[in-house]
Amino acid sequence: MKQKKIAIFTSGGDAQGMNAAVRAVVRTGLERGAEVYAIYEGYQGLVDGGERIRKMDWDSVGGILQLGGTVIGTARSKEFMTRDGRRQAARNLIEHGISGIIVIGGDGSLTGANIFRQEWPSLVAELVESGAISAEAAQEYSNLSIVGLVGSIDNDFHGTDMTIGADTALHRITEAMDAITSTAASHQRTFVVKVMGRNCGYLALMGALASGADWVLIPEAPPDVDNWKDVMAERLKAGRKAGRRDSIVILAEGAQDRHGKYIGSTEVQQALEERLGEEVRVTVLGHVQRGGRPSAFDRNLGTLMGYEAVEIILNARPEDEPVVIGIKNNRMTRLPLMESVLKTQAVAEAIAEKDYERAMSLRSSSFSDAFKTLRTMVRALPHPVDAGRKHFRIAVLNAGAPAPGMNTAARAAIRYGLDQGHVMLGIRNGFEGLANGEIEEMSWMSVSGWASMGGSVLGTNRKIPKGKDFYGMAREIEKNHIDALLFIGGWTAYLAANAMMVNRANFPAFNIPIVCLPASINNNLPGSEFSIGADTALNSIVDAVDKIKMSAGATRRCFVVEVMGHHCGYLALMGGMATGAERVYLPEDGVSLRDLQNDVELLKRGFKTGKRLGLMIRSEHANAVYTTSFMCSLFEEEGHDLFDVRPAILGHLQQGGDPSPFDRIQANRLACLCVEALVDECSRDGLRVSFIGMQDGKIQFHDMRDFERVINAENLRPREQWWLGLKHITSLLAQHGPSQGA
Ligand code: ADP
């Protein structure tokens, strides 16, 4: 069979993670036996042809994973908007023998792709007619396959939970917001921060939720009253009175009032200055949101989407309609290209027509949930207690190793519960604290500032209660009239909740509903594909490895980087995917002597043929005997003068740090659902013990009675781990031919 030729290009606004997608497309394509071209400068390159259409090899996409923007360039092309331009583009593709294109861009670029494909037969016919191509060529290229990937920092595309670049933009926003919050709090100042998003309030909304901002203005949900400026100012004043030291308003670029009039940052500034009687500062974040290195999530999203795109395009049949690749509940999906573009544009139209309800309904459920949660979180004080409703005493506890996002979850749970009139108790120092009666009533302002804080303010430890601890715990539960418990933590929390359930006959006080919320950097908890903290840890790993790689300079060096994870290889595998490690050692697979011998050969072969940098990522418990230092010694000895080897044990930097936006958003979402479930259970006199998590496409509560069935008790990890299915992609992209890696 003739070798298939495919091409990739990036178009429209650049977005971080596009390079990961380009790398994945090129390498997967080569691996599958295709010839792969990159078209430089988007559609303009397609029209220009010549030097702009370049054949790629394995190494042409080396070392680009960590770069922001797009290394193959992007442009807005007026010529491609014309038929003449598109005819020329068709001619260039046919002359290169390219029969499939992968487009990474926003809805504009994907619309262009769709028009191109619809016109393809007529463009080809015109080319034959004018003698530009032969009838045989026309016959051979009678069809053009197209696959789209959405690269857009706005996260504004219908049908996908995330677009490439949105997570990184949120990283930039939360970093800026955290910095602004600390200066604003020091001076008790008011800030207005403007973020990108013309038709989509995603960045503003999630940025506000993640940073604990006090007010948000987004296009999909304009203020519902005309005197919104008064309402906003009153709220901010009330917040100050309640003890808040700063006031922060986030404004999306496309925010408007309910008459469709755009709201500018100066307008908000003036409105607040007049009403608050103080100076108000404005920060327009602008292009920093597009800048910087891509987050771990965007690198892996780009990689997985790029891989998927090649699988589709190489198996495409002529009659297949073009598709866009999306991600829905953590799984790759294929969306019909034009239908998705039209639905995306429908949101903009709904906003233009001031049909905000429809605009909101076209967004995902997590978007509207987040908006609801935010409205609770930004309150200056909770709603007044409704005397007609039953209220409960709900206690929140952190357990296990600290995980970034624990505070965010505790804050959200406490405020959500308080807002509904419940008494929220904070238990200090995990189960030890519970047994010792370190319990206090939490107020609305007691959790102020927790949204962005790493570590655990309540205090946490890894002591799993047993035997006599239960007496103390039962006594304190009774003494404090605790109606329900929320445990935020890792295995310590889950094992304790299970033990309490099992010991109910001996300790009647344990007959109350309990929910565990997964918070562990290791991402090793049952019933949940993501635990809070894992995304932050992954980003810490990626940051560290980026620096380690840069340190290699001109020497030929191999690093063996050891990451955490206990008996779960999640951080190692996903960290390896995001950094381009050529080998990942997982506890799930173990390490054999034969593996190590093969790896020595792999390294030797690589360094002999020009490789300068080797990167191996080893999960801390991949093998008890073949430790990181053992492996380093082995590689060093066998590498002789060819290369040297350095260990890098990342250690606790993985547990620290401020939580990533994703961890903060998840923490908010899960915590509110947990409190809701506990209240529901209390209202029905239920006693259910459960653990929450996003799994198989939805957030669900799992019954603790199923706990033993779904865990691998010996290794403290879930029996089924979704991410193991991605192993082949990591190794495919990093190892190939003579000079592997990065
Ligand atoms: P984005 O892809 O980020 O939405 P644009 O809307 O600017 O960015 O589109 C990028 C490029 O895609 C345009 O400059 C143009 O070359 C091409 N394009 C967009 N819309 C069309 C269209 N209707 N027909 C042909 N090409 C289009």
Q: Is the CB of 199 under 6 A from ligand 1?
A: no
What average pLDDT does this structure show over 603-618? 91
- Helix/strand/coil (H/E/C) assignment for every residue in 159-213: CCCCCECHHHHHHHHHHHHHHHHHHHHHHCCEEEEEECCCCCCHHHHHHHHHHCC
Distance from residue 160's CA to the centre of ligand 1 (Å)? 20
Residue 643: pLDDT over 90: yes
Ligand 1: which of 9, 10, 11, 123 to mutate, judged by most atoms within 8 Å of the beta carbon? 11
Q: Is the CB of 80 under 6 A from ligand 1?
A: yes
Residues 6 or more apart in contact with residue 624 via CB below 8 angstroms: none
CA–centroid distance for 174 within its chain: 13
Q: Read off the pLDDT of residues 457-484 as tens digits, 9 standing for 90 and up.
A: 999 999 999 888 999 999 999 999 999 9
pLDDT attached to residue 1: 66
Domain with CATH 3.40.50.460 in the chain: 166-289, 534-657+726-734
d(CA 690, CA 738): 51
Range of lowest pLDDT (258-267, 353-362, 591-600): 353-362
Q: Is the CB of 43 under 6 A from ligand 1?
A: yes
Residue 83: pLDDT over 50: yes
Distance from residue 76's CA to the centre of ligand 1 (Å)? 7
What average pLDDT does this structure show over 429-437? 97
What confidence category does residue 740 fall into, taking pLDDT thresholds of 50, 70 and 90?
very low
Residue 291: pLDDT over 90: no
Distance from residue 107's CA to the centre of ligand 1 (Å)? 7
- Take atom 18 of ligand 1 and give the residue whose Cα is closest: 112
Distance from residue 43's CA to the centre of ligand 1 (Å)? 8
Which atom in ligand 1 lies closest to the alpha carbon of residue 13?
3
CB 265 within 8 A of CB 194: yes
Q: Is the CB of 157 under 6 A from ligand 1?
A: no
What is the fold of 534-657+726-734?
Answer: Rossmann fold (3.40.50)
The CATH architecture of the domain made up of 166-289 is: 3-Layer(aba) Sandwich (3.40)
What average pLDDT does this structure show over 519-533? 98
Domain with CATH 3.40.50.450 in the chain: 5-163+294-328, 393-532+660-695
Which atom in ligand 1 lies closest to the alpha carbon of residue 107?
4
Q: Read off the pLDDT of residues 305-333 as tens digits, 9 standing for 90 and up.
A: 999 999 999 999 988 999 999 999 899 99
Q: Is the CB of 74 under 6 A from ligand 1?
A: no
Instruction: Count the neighbouring beta carbons within 10 Å of the beta carbon of residue 381.
Output: 15
d(CA 5, CA 39): 13
d(CA 505, CA 484): 18
Tell me the β-bridge partners of 325: 149, 334
CA distances from 26 to 5, 243, 612 (A): 11, 55, 21
Ligand 1: which of 10, 76, 104 to mutate, judged by most atoms within 8 Å of the beta carbon? 76
Residue 29: pLDDT over 90: yes
Which atom in ligand 1 lies closest to the alpha carbon of residue 80?
16
Helix (H, G, I), strand (E, B) or coil at 601: helix
- Take atom 23 of ligand 1 and give the residue whose Cα is closest: 112
Q: Read off the pLDDT of residues 392-425 as tens digits, 9 standing for 90 and up.
A: 999 999 999 999 999 999 999 999 999 999 999 9
d(CA 451, CA 377): 10
Q: Catalogue the active-site residues.
A: 154
What confidence category does residue 638 fall into, taking pLDDT thresholds of 50, 70 and 90?
very high
393-399 and 423-427: which strand pairing?
parallel
- Take atom 22 of ligand 1 and give the residue whose Cα is closest: 112
Q: Read off the pLDDT of residues 95-115 as tens digits, 9 standing for 90 and up.
A: 999 999 999 999 999 999 999
Q: Is the CB of 76 under 6 A from ligand 1?
A: yes
Q: Read off the pLDDT of residues 652-692 as tens digits, 9 standing for 90 and up.
A: 999 988 999 999 999 999 999 999 999 999 999 999 999 99
CB 643 within 8 A of CB 605: no
Helix (H, G, I), strand (E, B) or coil at 4: coil
pLDDT over 70 percentage in the chain = 99
What is the fold of 5-163+294-328?
Answer: Rossmann fold (3.40.50)
Q: Is the CB of 114 under 6 A from ligand 1?
A: no
Which of 13, 20, 660 shows the shortest CA–CA distance to 287? 13
Q: Read off the pLDDT of residues 211-265 as tens digits, 9 standing for 90 and up.
A: 989 999 999 999 999 999 999 999 999 988 988 888 999 999 999 999 999 999 9
Tell me the β-bridge partners of 150: 105
Q: Read off the pLDDT of residues 170-213 as tens digits, 9 standing for 90 and up.
A: 999 999 999 998 887 777 889 999 999 988 999 999 999 999 89
Which atom in ligand 1 lies closest to the alpha carbon of residue 76?
14
What is the fold of 393-532+660-695?
Answer: Rossmann fold (3.40.50)
pTM of the model: 0.95
pLDDT attached to residue 184: 77
pLDDT attached to residue 736: 59
Distance from residue 368's CA to the centre of ligand 1 (Å)? 29
Residue 737: pLDDT over 60: no
What average pLDDT does this structure show over 148-167? 95
Residues 6 or more apart in contact with residue 440 via CB below 8 angstroms: 425, 426, 428
Residue 739: pLDDT over 70: no
Residue 741: pLDDT over 50: no
Which of 382, 386, 377 shows the shortest CA–CA distance to 443? 382
Which of 607, 538, 528, 605 shows the shortest CA–CA distance to 570? 538
Helix (H, G, I), strand (E, B) or coil at 624: coil
Q: Is the CB of 288 under 6 A from ligand 1?
A: no
- Take atom 5 of ligand 1 and give the residue whose Cα is closest: 108
323-328 and 423-427: which strand pairing?
unpaired
Phi first, then psi, for residue 304 (nearest 5°) are -65, -40
CB 681 within 8 A of CB 592: no
pLDDT attached to residue 702: 98
- Take atom 25 of ligand 1 and give the residue whose Cα is closest: 112
Q: Is the CB of 111 under 6 A from ligand 1?
A: yes
pLDDT attached to residue 400: 96
- Take atom 26 of ligand 1 and give the residue whose Cα is closest: 112
d(CA 380, CA 606): 60
